[in-house]
Structure 1
Amino acid sequence: MSFDIVQWLAALVPILVLLVLLLHCRWGGDEAASAGLLFSILIAYLVFGGGADMIALAVAKGMWTSLSIILVVFPALIIYEVSWESGAFGVIRAGMQQFTPDKVLQVLAVGWIFVGFLQGITGFGVPVVVCAPLLIGMGVKPLTAVLITLLGQAWGNTFGTLGLAWDGLIGQVDVSNPLILNKTIIWTTAMLGVVNLIAGLLIAGLAGGYQGIKRNAVTVILLGLFQGIGQMGIALLNPMLCNFVVASVSLGLIFIIGRLDYYRQPVELNDPAEEKTDEKNVTANAMNIQQAFIPYVFLIVIAVVVLLNDSVKNYLGQWKLSLSFAGKTTLLGFSTHSYPAYAPLAPLIHSGAFLLLAAIIGYVCYVRWGYIQAGGVQRIMKNSLAKTIPSAIAVIGLIAMSKVMDETGQTTVLAQGVAAVTGGVYPMLSPFIGLLGTFMTSSNLSSNILFGSFQQQVAQMLQIDKAPLLAAQTVGGAIGSIIAPSKILLGTTAAGMLGREGEVISKVIGGAMLLCAVFGVVIYISYQLGW
């Protein structure tokens, strides 16, 4: 497999620009994304031979795809503002003491277990935008809250969202042989189990420091093993439900654990945020914990009822919105398909619809109970829009950049270059291809669609078993969700720290790369041993 070094270096430029501006220059996501988009367009036109019409269509596709993310951000912020306006966060913070006075376990329950549960049923960044504000309301610093939710959602990125990313992978490759399919599942779930276990320990450390890890190590290890082994066993029977079932049981287990005598002693956070005296929290002291969680309870109920009931899901999902795009070809021969209905959006079963309906129900309940005063809806909408607009600009820039790179061949050249140069040691780098796909698209599903068949082709070229490479693809994609700029933007927006995306990436990128490297070495060794 040959490649052009000039093209490879040129394709790398937009990514380097994005990373340098975010990490070194500390630019905000909207500014860095705009610069990355500009460079991707220039490279597409000057080096890859993409015509102006082709580039324009790629940008338009990016804008359309971005709509799905923005439709999650805006209603999620409305839920946050409804909860803030009503004083629910203060009640949640106090009510968690009834679950356990150990604040580190509280954080594990919300930032690890509940985040995993939401990822199992909804995905699309919902766990981050919903749980980061919850953690902040419990006394966690905003930056720490974003890091925790990013870590907590990673392991569910393949089999979460009812197995959507997994379906995207197996839809691109040939796994008709049951032995290959089962081997791919075992490799994938085994590595994801390690990701989840490490995430749990890191979350305990972020919440409670070294003592947090030491005190909760047994709990995290036992729950992590249960989730990892449970996901593996159920995935062999039903990949669609494996993550959701395991996460649901874990949610019940964490509350049982919180009742143990071991967790009845007060334990403080290692580095808590400064407590704020807010008049809304003071005047809402009549609210109980069940009322405070009303929007989130309805979010779960709505999502479960719609997504797990095929008749309801199919009925509501028949109404779709889409755009048509013509196929184009660059001067270098990279082609795009013609789409009569590109990335159809089913608004009634979209996560944004669930969030919006839950927000409306929460608002109506709080108004009826007297927790939101006159003018509340105006304040809620004003604050939500103010936070959504800059985030939307950044999301559009990032997704449009990824589409321009994808459709003009830049992303493919990057992957092919790595495979061509590394040859027999390529398995060591295979997880990084999945990570690259998710970093660029903010979606494990998109990464699997983009590079799933590529990993299979490399396996055939090297005449090796493709199962470990396919697993490396989607596990690398799951790890990539921790450092994906668009997903980080969801967290910084929800946490009220928009513009600090580079700070978040700098905290997690080293660990993500190290984990991919370790998995790559394990896969390489497995080939050498003939596993």
Structure 2
Amino acid sequence: MDQLTGFTLAVLPILIIFIGLVFLKKSGTLMGVIGWIATLVIAIIFFNTSPEIAAYASINGFLSSLGISLMVLFTILQVTMMDLTGAIKRITEFIKSIAAERYEQIMILNIGLGSFLVSIGATPVTMLPPIMLALGFSPLAAVALPCLGYDPLTSFSLLAIPITLPAQVFGMDVGSLSKNIAIFLPLVSTGFAMGMLWIADGIEGVKKGFVPALIAGGTLGLSCIAFVNLLPVSAIGLVGVFSGLTTIAVLFLIRVIQGKPIFYKTKVAPRANVLADGPAPMPLWKAAFPWILLVMFCIVICIPDISAFLHGLLGDSQKIHIVANKYVDLKILNQAYFWVLISTVLSAPFLIRSKEEANKIVRLWLKRAWSPTLAAAVFFAIAYVMDWSAQSVVDGILTFAPGAADFNMNAVIGLTFALFFGAAAFPAISPLLGLFGSFVSGSETSSNVMFYGILKKSTDVLDLDFMNVYSAHAVSGGIASAIAPAKIINAAAVIDKLGIEGEVIQKSAVIAILLTIVTGAVLLILLAL
């Protein structure tokens, strides 16, 4: 099999998914399943992968996805409860009182709060779409904006796991990697801020919100650089948390400087299911109680001693053997999804007023949740089948037999780019691998792990600085959250708009591709210095 044929076959499942979503308007879940089947067939027939290894890779993918797929499942339950009990409506009214202009709402919610939420392990793609829809944004914008808001500091999401995990696995210096990634972020975060305005209101929206977007994006990116250099390496997981909060604070400070009020007068809508005698509007603390608990839990479980204690409670009982030397450690009590469920259960008595209301919530939750939960798992399975392709068990270790590495699907893609473009152009297009990897798996972490070996080999062959190239790859993997089907399906499900995924990808792809090109251009400059 020649290089071009191998490359075409390796990317074919992703092309099938993309065409189905964007042009055929099929659901993300359906196309994910079709793409998974196509990946299995191609890996087995053309890339020397045994059916057993392909099956094990899928199982590994499903189990590895639980941190995301169960997060999807339980956050949809939480948001559904808050939606049907009137809590979302009450929170929306409060947001209108602190951000009257649409561009202010976009910047505060999706740039500042979105970055904060994703950094502590919460999911803005589930929490924010109902609020954006209630604020008057179109369904497309209500889905696209939180997905874009997942992106600017994605490398520092989940307490910087996309950085710390591959650094731990491959022995890289966390501090150096973090600083290299942060260099790209002022331009990227500002680009996202501008892109959000364009998604919401077109060119007129960009013109009207240009200065706030410049301030929000610039603050987010520059504060990230500052905190990466100020905080000790052991606290690198807090970079995104502090950067998001700093951005929100600066946006309010600008309002004060301009002489605008912090709070605008607005009518608070009463609870949707009020009694005949008309009770008082729901207190804000009660409406936000599930999220208050979740944020508290996520912060507490990030404390190293507490995190270690929680993991030790279940220990090796949550470590599942897949094949040979491959295990998946579920880390159940350390996962954000577990605490989403706990916060939902604890807050339910404060929000749910009747058994009938509870039954309605459960029914709507099951209707909304099954499809995006399955989609998250399937896309992880695709990523692992590609990553494990051409591998076999040798002396109890899953690895490549001599010469087999050249038949790995990811390696074929990466090396084709390297050979075709050469040392001069490869840095400019190498971020596309990060975009590709995160599009497939829905996770920058997975992309960073999957493509480490490929980028290391490519940069060695081309005599390029690996750390700079790998950092650009990580940044573009974060950019891909804007178009990752797993995240878009999640966001669409919570507002009952499944089927809109292709339209969102088509709209957001312009932003993702442009920012990936910008990332490549910055990489070229860094390598030339």
Give the whole-Å Cα distance in 2 for the aligned partners of 1:350 and 1:387: 22
Could you say which residue in structure 2 is the equivalent of 1:360?
345
Whichever residue aligns with residue 381 of structure 1, its letter is V
The alignment's TM-score, normalised by the length of structure 2, stands at 0.87
User: CA-to-partner distance for each residue in 1:470-507, whole Å, 9 max, x for gaps?
Assistant: 21111111111211111111111122211221111111
Could you tell me how far 1:361 is from its partner in structure 2? 2.6
Match of 1:334 in 2: none
**What code does the residue aligned with 2:328 have?**
A
Percent identity of the aligned residues?
A: 22
Cα 1:468/1:284, change in 2 over 3 Å: farther
CA offset at residue 77 of structure 1?
Answer: 1.3
1:375 paired residue number? 356
- The amino acid across from 1:249 in the alignment is T
Asked whether the equivalents of residues 180 and 467 of structure 2 are also in contact (C-alpha less than 8 Å), the reply is yes
Contact kept in structure 1, 2:58 and 2:381, CA below 8 Å: yes
What SS does the aligned partner of 1:317 have? helix
> How far apart in 2 are the matches of 1:220 and 1:24?
31
Deviation at 1:203, TM superposition (A): 2.3
Structure 2: which 5+ residue stretches go unaligned?
A: 390-407
**What's the offset of the Cα at 1:324?**
0.9
Cα distance change of structure 1 residues 69 and 150 upon mapping to structure 2, 3 Å threshold: same
Q: CA deviation digits over 1:197-235, x for unaligned, max 9? A: 111222234445545433433333223222222211221
The 8 Å contact of residues 111 and 244 in structure 2, kept in 1 or not, is answered as no
1:313-367 deviations in whole A, cap 9, x for unaligned? 211122252321224xxxxxxxxxx22xx22112222111121122123211124
In structure 1, what residue type is equivalent to 2:209?
N
Identify the range of structure 1 (20-29 vs 358-367) with the bigger mean alpha-carbon deviation: 358-367
Maintained 8 Å contact 1:444/1:478: yes
Q: Aligned partner of 1:521: which letter?
A: A
Per the TM alignment, residue 191 of structure 1 is displaced from its structure 2 partner at its CA by 1.4
Deviates more, 1:202-211 or 1:242-251: 202-211
Distance 1:93 1:508 in 2: 25
Answer yes or no: is 1:227 the counterpart of 2:226.
Answer: no
Alignment partner of 2:155: what SS? coil
* Correspondence for 1:290 among 285, 288, 298: 285
Indicate yes or no: 2:492 matched with 1:492. Answer: yes
Amino acid at match of 2:3: D
Alpha-carbon shift at residue 172 of structure 1 (Å): 5.0
Task: Give me the whole-angstrom Cα distance separating, in 2, the residues matched to 1:202 and 1:491.
Answer: 18
Question: Is residue 511 of structure 2 the alignment partner of residue 514 of structure 1?
Answer: no
Contact 2:73 2:373 (8 Å CA) reproduced: no
Contact persistence 1:117–1:251 (CA under 8 A): no
User: What secondary structure does 1:515 align onto?
Assistant: helix
Closer, same or farther: CA 77–415 of 1 in aligned 2, 3 Å: same
Per-residue deviation, 1:448: 0.9
Give runs of ≥4 in structure 1 deviating > 6 Å: 281-284
1:3-82 to 2 correspondences below 5 Å: 4-82=3-81
Q: Please, what TM-score do these two structures have when normalized by structure 1?
A: 0.87
Equivalent in the alignment of 1:335: none
Contact 1:91/1:289 (<8 A) preserved: yes
Q: 2:211 aligns with which of 210, 218, 221?
A: 218
Q: Is residue 299 of structure 1 aligned with residue 298 of structure 2?
A: no
For residue 508 of structure 2, give the secondary structure of its aligned residue in structure 1.
helix
Going from structure 1 to structure 2, the CA distance change for 1:317 and 1:284 (only over 3 Å counts) comes to farther
CA distance in structure 1 between the aligned counterparts of 2:495 and 2:256, rounded to whole angstroms = 30
Deviation at 1:154? Answer: 0.3
Contact 1:128 1:150 in 2 (8 A): yes
* Mapped contact 1:81–1:380 kept (Cα < 8 A): yes
Q: Structure 2 counterpart of 1:401, which letter?
A: I
Aligned to 2:395: none
1:405-484 aligned within 5 A? 405-408=386-389, 409-424=408-423, 425-484=425-484
Matched position secondary structure for 2:281: coil
In the alignment, structure 1 residue 171 sits paired with structure 2 residue 168: yes
Judging changes above 3 Å, is the alpha-carbon distance between structure 1 residues 4 and 491 closer, same or farther for their aligned structure 2 residues? same
1:146 matched to 2:139: no
Contact 2:27 2:499 in 1 (8 A): yes
CA contact (8 A) 2:415 2:458 kept: no
